[in-house]
């Protein structure tokens, strides 16, 4: 896609929404534990979910436990660890796992290697490992080389590069597959998918959404397969508020009522 893309369009119709979290619904912070979603944004996301029969999911590299914590007090369908964990609207969970022995071996190997790279951090996610180097960018090549070597040793593993992080995860797991799985069942099926993300990890999701004739939105600069672009997290907040307001107005008009309260005042 071209670098200069316009803001995504207004959305009349039946849509299914998928949101990345870090860098999309929440500003990126120096450490993942510092990230939060503003209460006003969570209210808007929940309103969108309610107005679209629950066809809204969070799709993230974070674990589902982390996503639930960040989304409190609301509870959404989720895909965590890039889709290795998934929870549908009926609270059914779908987990892709690795053998316990392999997980223990990888944890020990990666932890020992990163001890020699001060400022890097190992995040164990159960069935995946994230190697962070945001606090030590000088070790980017060393971290990527370590991850490649580990993945090459184990054919069931694959790499997922991201912003100042590289993840080692089960092969065949990505956000595109997670979105496709959601779209195969209610309340998502039959709707047009909308996916908003900011990172390399989101490109597989953009591809699936594009193939389905949906709306793919890249947040921030960089080459992308997405068809639309928003410049910042703040622009995402404003756009989803505009969409929620539009849908509220359509519902009010359909019901023949005048009870319409704009969500814009929340932001």
Residue-wise pLDDT tens digits, 107-153: 999 999 999 999 999 988 888 899 999 899 999 999 999 999 999 99
pLDDT digits (tens, 9 = 90+) for 183-202: 999 999 999 999 999 998 99
Other C-beta atoms within 10 Å of 108: how many?
10
**Domain with 50 in it: what CATH number?**
3.40.50.1000
> What does the pLDDT read at residue 258?
52
- At 12, the pLDDT band (50, 70, 90 cuts) reads low
Lowest mean pLDDT among 70-79, 119-128, 173-182, 251-260: 251-260
Same-domain status, 178 and 133: no
| Res 267 pLDDT > 70 | no
Task: Confirm if 40 and 50 have CB atoms less than 8 A apart.
Answer: no
Q: 170: cis peptide before it, omega within 30°? A: no
Q: Which residue has better confidence, 8 or 170?
A: 170
| Pairwise CA distance, residues 152 & 93, whole Å | 30
The burial class, CB within 10 Å (0-12 / 13-18 / 19+), for 172 is: exposed
| Res 7 pLDDT > 70 | no
| Res 50 pLDDT > 90 | yes
Task: Confirm if 174 and 160 have CB atoms less than 8 A apart.
Answer: yes
Same-domain status, 28 and 66: yes
Other C-beta atoms within 10 Å of 109: how many?
15
Boundary (domain end) residue, out of 114, 139, 170: 170
Q: Is residue 2 part of a domain?
A: no
Boundary (domain end) residue, out of 170, 193, 209: 170
- Beta strands 78-80; 56-59: pairing state: parallel
Q: Is residue 6 part of a domain?
A: no
Same-domain status, 259 and 178: yes
| Res 249 pLDDT > 90 | no
Q: Which residue has better confidence, 93 or 98?
A: 93
- Is 20 a residue of the active site? yes
Share of the chain above pLDDT 70, in %: 91
How many domains, in total, are found in the chain?
A: 2
Q: Buried b vs exposed e over 202-216: b needs ≥16 C-beta within 10 Å?
A: bbbbbbbbbebebbb
Active-site annotation holder among 20, 88, 198, 202: 20
- Our measurement of the distance from residue 187's CA atom to the centroid of its chain's CA atoms, rounded to an integer in Å, reads 19
Structural domain harbouring 192:
15-95+173-266
pLDDT digits (tens, 9 = 90+) for 195-242: 999 998 999 999 999 999 999 999 999 999 999 999 999 999 999 999
Q: Which residue has better confidence, 88 or 4?
A: 88
- Model confidence pTM above 0.85: no
- H or E element, residue 131: strand 129-132
């Amino acid at each position: 896609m071209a670098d200069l893309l316009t803001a995504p369009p207004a959305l009349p119709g039946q849509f299914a929404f998928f949101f990345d979290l870090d860098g999309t619904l929440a500003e990126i912070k120096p450490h993942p534990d510092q990230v939060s979603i503003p209460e006003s944004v969570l209210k808007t996301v929940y309103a969108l979910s309610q107005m679209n029969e629950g066809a809204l999911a969070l799709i993230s590299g974070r674990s589902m436990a982390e996503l639930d914590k960040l989304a409190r007090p609301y509870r959404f369908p989720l895909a965590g660890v890039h889709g290795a964990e998934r929870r549908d609207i009926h609270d059914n969970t779908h987990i892709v796992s690795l053998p316990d022995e392999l997980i223990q071996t990888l944890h020990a190997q990666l932890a020992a290697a990163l001890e020699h790279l001060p400022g890097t951090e190992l995040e164990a996610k159960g069935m995946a490992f994230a190697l962070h180097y945001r606090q030590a960018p000088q070790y980017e090549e060393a971290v990527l080389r370590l991850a490649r070597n580990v993945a090459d040793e184990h054919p069931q593993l694959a790499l997922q590069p991201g912003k100042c992080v590289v993840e080692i995860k089960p092969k065949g797991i990505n956000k595109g597959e997670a979105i496709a799985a959601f779209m195969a069942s209610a309340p998502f099926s039959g709707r047009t998918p909308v996916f908003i993300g900011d990172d390399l990890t989101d490109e597989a999701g953009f591809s699936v959404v594009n193939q389905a004739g949906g709306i793919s939105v890249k947040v921030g600069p960089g080459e992308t397969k997405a068809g639309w672009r928003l410049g910042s997290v703040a622009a995402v907040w404003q756009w989803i508020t505009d969409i929620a307001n539009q849908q509220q107005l359509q519902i009010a008009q359909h019901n023949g009522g005048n009870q319409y309260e704009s969500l814009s005042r929340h932001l």
